[in-house]
Amino acid sequence: MKNLNPYIRRSLYMAILVGLILSLPISLAANVEAPPPFLAKWGSFGTGEGQFRRPWGVAVDSADNVYVVDTYNNRIQKFDSDGRFLTKWGSRGNGDGEFNLPMGVAVDGWDNVYVADTSNNRIQKFDSDGRFLAKWGSYGTGDGQFVYPSCVAIDSADNVYVVEIWKHRIQKFDSDGRFLAKWGSYGTGNGQFYNPSFATIDSADNVYVADTSNNRIQKFDSDGRFLTKWGSFGNGDGQFYNPSCVAIDSTDNVYVVDRGNNRSQKFGPKIKAEIDITPGSNPNSINPKSKGKLPVAILTTDTLDATTVDSTTVFFGTTGVEAGQVYSALEDVDEDGDTDMILHFKTQDTGIECGDNTAFLSGKTTSGQPIKGAGAINTVGCH
């Protein structure tokens, strides 16, 4: 217990409760007036089979077997989907198959099990029956080293993402533990973290990180490139107080455990917005040195009514979060009979530089649904 930071200890109960709920095969219907039916429960305090001492992580394999990190018993327990005990492995220590206060667990496409062996500062890999396969990591700040790895997540290519809560970064490995990439540092900027505690992967292999002490969620592509973020400190819709866990359902809705506010919040996937940068020009030529304003149109399509976009939430630039709109208007930009929205941004606020070939737009509808658009650009006046 002395090896575990007090922040982690305080989060133990909440994280496993949420993990078990999300792992059960319940309906994730949007109708809040029809809560899902209770199906099962298992476990009690103790060291026997099916008992736990402060369990933390949970994962489900392709056969719906459930793996629970039994943190203070330093072991993994495996159950079927009804909670019947199947097997267990692990004991306290630093040998192969031993653990020191493990926290995170994930299962790959071959049902191999990866465990964040937190206080041993390593990742261990097992087959679905608990046979040891591989390990990597040691204490330190170099590539492939860890400072209290707290969470592990797997993408569709079986790449492994490890969250280091006290090092404020994400590391990416292949399924054999070979280092591939890393991102993050202490701070509040895009791609920086303050005690990140959890990560999950969507259907496109984008990575969502609960940036806990920054009170926000950050989204990255699978190579760590920043895509978007949302959240701030507070108790309003879309605000957080120490978000501790994030999960994705089959339609890429995002669920966030808002620990400090004693609630969970659900966010929908972004609606794709069709945009026309500098309408009427082809290619969309932009002079990054211009001190003028840049027009960008959001077009009405079958999936988005541009008149429902809240123009005050719209940003445009190299990642879609740089420049806020200066003014906007509604008009039929493409002359197809539908009303579109045209917005104007200060060119020098967009972050667009010579050589850039794509720009992004982000925002929300008046009902709070996120939107995202992208368009090709051609930079001029650069010589």
- Cβ burial, residue 302 (10 Å; 0-12/13-18/19+): exposed
pLDDT at position 35 is: 61
Q: Which domains does the chain have, with CATH numbers?
A: 6-267 (2.120.10.30), 271-379 (2.60.40)
Bigger pLDDT: 16 vs 251 = 251
Convert the pLDDT of each residue in 67-113 to its tens digit. 999 999 999 999 999 999 999 999 999 999 999 999 999 999 999 99
pLDDT digits (tens, 9 = 90+) for 24-62: 343 333 344 456 678 888 999 999 999 999 999 899 999
**Contact indicator for 229, 321 with CB cutoff of 8 Å:** yes
Q: How confident is the model at residue 5 (pLDDT cuts 50, 70, 90)?
A: low
Environment class of 238 (CB within 10 Å of its CB; exposed 0-12, middle 13-18, buried 19+): middle
Strand ranges across the sheet with 196-201: 196-201, 207-211, 216-220, 226-230
* CA atoms within 13 A of residue 239's CA, in its CB half-sphere: 8
pLDDT of residue 102: 96
pTM greater than the 0.85 cutoff: no
**Token pair 């004991």 in the structure block, residue:** 91
Q: According to the model, what pLDDT value does residue 77 have? A: 95
Q: What is the pLDDT of residues 278-289, one digit of tens each?
A: 887 767 889 999
pLDDT digits (tens, 9 = 90+) for 195-217: 999 999 998 899 999 999 999 99
